Amino acid sequence: MVLHICGKKSEKMNVVLWISAVVFIYATSQKVEGNKNVVCYFASWTVYRPGNGKFDVENIDPTLCTHINFGFVGIMDNGTLRIIDPWESNDDGLHGFRRLVALKNPNVKVMVSMGGWNEGAAKFSSVANDPALRNNLISSVISFIEKYNFDGFDLDWEYPGSREGSNPKIDPENYITLLKELKAKLQPRGYLLTAAVAGGVERTDVGYRVKDVSSLLDMINVMTYDFHGFFDNYVGHGAPLYKSHYDIGPINETLNVAAGIEHWIELGADPAKLNMGVVTYGRSFTLADPNNRQPYAPITGGGHAGPYMRQAGFLGYNEICELHSDWTYEWNEEMKVPFRYKGDQLVGYDDVRSMTEKVLYANSKKLGGIMIWSLDTDDFRGICGEAYPLLKTIHKNLK
């Protein structure tokens, strides 16, 4: 059921109808077996996508998630929280926060996430290094959570010690200090504290005191993806489950999901707090030679942009299944992931088969659950078959 809230005169009526619909959905919802986590990120900018790609709060199926994270709010130089997209999120706009929080029930927590790739690392590094600015951040976060009735806060600082403006000498310690101070204020109020963290071995080593991170957070969302892309200047799958014989050298051998998760565990993270990150988009490439498609083959750039994500080098699963099902399918047995290609275009992505493999791996490591980025590039409309095939695969197999 989809209900649209539009126009001030009908606002109260539509809000009542929306909440009533949500209550009906909850009455038929099922929890994930074993109380595992399925953390679903909702990205506000997806409301701007055209046609079948447009995604809004009403497109979320809350029965398939245990946590829904709003991405993103930003951070100011003085440490206070900033609204990045007022059109979608502000009370004077489309009431996005109100509608999102209406999805809450005893089995679904709605969180707000601060940061993301575009927000960078510099402001986080600066704020975390100053006691007064940390206090501004924490006070601002609590005020925001209380105002909009969120269940907790997700810190997505990408990344401590890495990227422009960060400081590898002090960021890891300041990161822990920030988490300690956040927990001291959030926990007594009953709010959750989680974080999205690097899944790559190198960035993990640079940025995190893993045992301390694990002790302070309620959940750790490990971003085990974006290991490869057109930024490499060669072909590579963005999120291979395992290494392949093409991965030569100590660094390349770690650019996979299993290496990232196992490194966090080896460094002292509680597996039950780790949510393994998966993505619903693929990394695409324009091949230098259409006949050379193997990993590490040369490329001339990212693949052609799709009509929904509208970004070269990316294709959503919804774009792949709806528009590129005629491309040749190739399964890599070593990495346990698929590719599709046609002419000089190639994309590595996750489908139902590879997502099943990843969830079974998470089960084998006794992880807390799965984090999915993000809802909007799954086949959420069911154009290619059943709606939300990737998310439902997670829900079905997670134990």
Q: H or E stretch including 348?
A: strand 345-348
- pLDDT confidence bin for 89, thresholds 50/70/90: confident
Q: What is the pLDDT of residue 25?
A: 41
Asked if the peptide bond before residue 72 counts as cis, ω within 30 degrees of 0, the response is yes
The whole-angstrom distance between residue 330's C-alpha and the CA centroid of its chain comes to 26
Structure tokens at 161: 């010690």
Q: H or E stretch including 197?
A: strand 192-198
AA letter at 252 = N
Per-residue pLDDT, averaged over 213-219, amounts to: 98
Query: Rounded to 5 degrees, what are φ and ψ at 179?
Result: -65, -40
Rounded distance, CA 383 to CA 380, Å?
8
Helix (H, G, I), strand (E, B) or coil at 322: helix
- pLDDT confidence bin for 16, thresholds 50/70/90: very low
Structure tokens at 183: 């927990």
- pLDDT confidence bin for 224, thresholds 50/70/90: very high
Rounded distance, CA 309 to CA 50, Å?
9
DSSP per residue over 334-346, as a string? TTTEEEEEETTEE
Q: What is the pLDDT of residue 213?
A: 98
Query: Rounded to 5 degrees, what are φ and ψ at 62?
Result: -70, -10
Q: H or E stretch including 114?
A: strand 109-115
Q: What is the pLDDT of residue 97?
A: 93
On the question of pLDDT at 324 being above 60, the answer is yes
Q: Is residue 266 part of a domain?
A: yes
Helix (H, G, I), strand (E, B) or coil at 22: helix
Name which of 97-101, 352-356, 365-369 the model is least confident about.
97-101
Q: What is the pLDDT of residue 41?
A: 98
229 closest CA partner among 79, 347, 390, 107 = 347
CATH number of the domain at 393, please. Answer: 3.20.20.80
Longest dimension (CA), the chain: 63
Q: What is the pLDDT of residue 33?
A: 60
Point out which residues pair with 60 in neighbouring strands.
none
Tell me if 119 sits within 8 A of 75, measured CB to CB: yes
DSSP per residue over 48-72, as a string? G--GGG---GGG--GGG-SEEEEEE
Catalytic position from the list 11, 119, 146, 158 = 158
On the question of pLDDT at 331 being above 70, the answer is yes
pTM above 0.85, yes or no: yes
Tell me if 323 sits within 8 A of 307, measured CB to CB: yes
CA angle 384, 373, 102 (to 5 degrees): 90
Rounded distance, CA 116 to CA 84, Å?
11
Q: What is the pLDDT of residue 348?
A: 98
% of the chain beyond a pLDDT of 90: 88
3-class secondary structure per residue, 135-193? HHHHHHHHHHHHHHCCCEEEEECCCCCCCCCCCCCCHHHHHHHHHHHHHHHHHHHCCEE
Q: What is the pLDDT of residue 17?
A: 39
- pLDDT confidence bin for 32, thresholds 50/70/90: low
Per-residue pLDDT, averaged over 228-252, amounts to: 97
If one counts every other C-beta atom within 10 angstroms of the C-beta of residue 167, the result is: 16
Looking at the structure of the chain, the number of domains it has is 1
Q: Is residue 195 part of a domain?
A: yes
Q: Is residue 301 part of a domain?
A: no
Q: Can you give the residue range of the structural domain that contains 261?
A: 19-280+350-397
Q: Is residue 340 part of a domain?
A: no
Rounded distance, CA 29 to CA 24, Å?
9
Q: Is residue 319 part of a domain?
A: no
Rounded distance, CA 259 to CA 242, Å?
7
Is 158 one of the annotated active-site residues of the chain? yes
Q: What is the pLDDT of residue 50?
A: 98
Q: Which residue has the tokens 């999102």?
A: 100
Point out which residues pair with 332 in neighbouring strands.
337
On the question of pLDDT at 30 being above 90, the answer is no
% of the chain beyond a pLDDT of 70: 90
**Residue range 143-190, pLDDT digits in tens:** 999 999 999 999 999 999 999 999 999 999 999 999 999 999 999 999
Per-residue pLDDT, averaged over 236-241, amounts to: 98
Tell me if 180 sits within 8 A of 143, measured CB to CB: no
If one counts every other C-beta atom within 10 angstroms of the C-beta of residue 49, the result is: 18
On the question of pLDDT at 31 being above 60, the answer is no
Q: Is residue 220 part of a domain?
A: yes
Q: Is residue 114 part of a domain?
A: yes
What CA dihedral angle connects 131, 132, 136 and 142, to 10 degrees?
Answer: 50
Q: Is residue 169 part of a domain?
A: yes
